[in-house]
Amino acid sequence: MVSKRAEQFLVELRMYLISKGKNDQEINEITEELEDHLTEAEAAGKDVSHIIGDSPKNYMKSIGESMKTDYRQLAGLVPLMILLLTAYLSIGPAIEGTFSVSQGTIWFALVISSISILVYGLFLFKVMPKFFQSKWNYVLFTVTFLAVTGLMIAFMFWYKSQEFEVVFVATPAQNNLIIVLCAVIFIGAALYTKTWFTVLIPLFLSMGPIATRFVPEEANNDPLYITITILAFLLASAVAIAIFIFQSKKDQKKI
């Protein structure tokens, strides 16, 4: 077992190396090796700074520079990200049965994707490692999540008001086909990255559209139903986020 400070350093190092596109296996090796070293050193009464020096940042940099950037791994991730984002954006309308492509669709997808990649990327690699040990992590994640979702909704309203010329409207059969395709992409991505959240997030995102497709029209006008739904969603998101953070902490401990 290592001290909290050492553990914090190991998490920061891992995130730093991932963000620099290093090979997963090599990242595991070096963090395991350092954890072993830190465990022994701390057991011998040495301080973390005795191992990593006064500037953890410089030390992380020197490790990163000694490792190859795995361009093949990165090259595989880019098409995967594009497929995943396309699937994320298509599954909602497809479930609602309203999938269509207009001239603005590409722009809409590009803007939404870049914003979410940028914000979540910053959060995951820069902010989260710093607050790994503290409860602020939960607060920060919720704020980030709400901010991005809010931005997306605002953008969606703007997009709808633009009335772009529609070039393709899916038939009910095509909508179902798109749902199946999206599901295949999500499951494939989950298997490829060995993470389960690529399946859970779309399930979560689909709840809204599934509800609009199957809940009768009258319910949409009843304020009581609306309040209950909002509360249920807030509760569900809180639980999902908590599970996600708890799980990633557990994963980190195993490493």
Q: Alpha-carbon Rg of the chain, whole angstroms?
A: 22
Q: How far is the CB of 15 from another protein (least distance, A)?
A: 18
When the beta carbons of 53 and 121 are compared against another protein, the nearer one is 53
Q: How far is the CB of 58 from another protein (least distance, A)?
A: 10
When the beta carbons of 22 and 87 are compared against another protein, the nearer one is 22
Q: How far is the CB of 21 from another protein (least distance, A)?
A: 16
Residues 134, 113, 25, 6: what is their CA dihedral angle, to the nearest 10 degrees?
A: -20
When the beta carbons of 65 and 163 are compared against another protein, the nearer one is 65
The three-class DSSP label of residue 89 is: helix
Q: How far is the CB of 41 from another protein (least distance, A)?
A: 7
When the beta carbons of 50 and 213 are compared against another protein, the nearer one is 50
Q: Is 155 exposed, middle or buried (0-12, 13-18, 19+ CB in 10 A)?
A: middle
Q: How far apart are CA 225 and CA 212, in angstroms?
A: 13
Q: Which residues bind another protein (CB under 8 A)?
A: 29-30, 32-37, 39-41, 46, 49-54, 59, 62-63, 65-68
When the beta carbons of 12 and 35 are compared against another protein, the nearer one is 35
> Quick one: residue 3, left, alpha or beta (phi over 0 = left, psi -120 to 50 = alpha)?
beta
Please, are residues 184 and 86 in contact by the beta-carbon 8 Å criterion? Answer: no
Q: How far is the CB of 57 from another protein (least distance, A)?
A: 13
